[in-house]
Structure 1
Amino acid sequence: MFSFFSMVKSITIRELATKLNDNILLLDVRTPAEYRQGHIIKAKNVPLNKIAAYKEKGDKAIYVICQSGMRSKQAAQQLKRKGYNVINVKGGMNQWSGKVKGGKS
């Protein structure tokens, strides 16, 4: 039975860091301004308010990140309902201590 609140798989920032060397798809669902202030190098900016229109070919897992983990969870639920294999990144950029692109270092 389909559940509206079906669980979305989550991983920690540390787990995400170990996957960045792989060919993963990472969506940053923060606003473009937040994204420009600093984002993970592989991250593609698709703001939460545009996630409903997002389309991706293939069945590759989609990792979703935001600032704290709240918006990414919402985005992940929307993407899961569309049939994508989605993984939410808990803690978001607030907990990220790796390299970032953009912003002030």
Structure 2
Amino acid sequence: MIEIQPTELAAIDGAIILDVREDHEFAEVRAATAVSIPMSQFVDRFDEVPVDETLYVICAAGGRSAQVAQYLEQRGYEAVNVAGGTGAWVAAGLPTLSGAPA
């Protein structure tokens, strides 16, 4: 499985970041451009996953996102795990949002 560092990901214009943490985690803090599809809802919401795009999957620390990235790869998607997850994103001082999404 391919992994990317948060700083490398932040440099990619238009990257699709799928945040697979639960809603309360997503509301607390998230990468500014992340889209929420919690791991617990992922199979039910699979039709929301963009097709023919590289997907950068993020969670809190990298474990759940690695599982989802593997799931996506098995279905023919190009998926990249974000090493260190949102914790590493925040620690790197990259743009974040908090609160419930609009």
For Structure 1 versus Structure 2, the TM-score category normalised by the shorter chain is 0.7 to 0.9
Q: Distance in 2 between matches of 1:64 and 1:16?
A: 11
Match of 2:51 among 43, 58, 66: 58
* Segments ≥4 residues shifted beyond 4 Å: none
Q: Which residue identity does 2:6 align to in structure 1?
A: I
Please state if 1:36 is matched with 2:27: yes
Q: Is the 8 A contact 1:51 1:79 kept in 2?
A: no
Deviation at 1:45, TM superposition (A): 0.5
Gaps of 5+ in 2: none
Identify the structure with the greater strand proportion: 2
Match of 1:102 among 90, 95, 98: 98
Q: How does 1:1-105 map to 2 (within 5 A)?
A: 8-19=1-12, 22-53=13-44, 54-55=46-47, 56-96=49-89, 97-103=93-99
Identity in percent: 34
Deviation at 1:17, TM superposition (A): 1.4
Helix, strand or coil at the partner of 1:23:
coil
Deviations 1:10-43 (A, max 9, x none): 1111111111xx1221100000000000111110
Deviation at 1:84, TM superposition (A): 0.7
TM-score where L is the length of structure 1:
0.82
Q: Distance in 2 between matches of 1:57 and 1:75?
A: 14
Deviations 1:25-78 (A, max 9, x none): 110000000000011111000111122231334311000000000000011011
Gaps of 5+ in 1: 1-7
Which has the larger Rg? Answer: 1
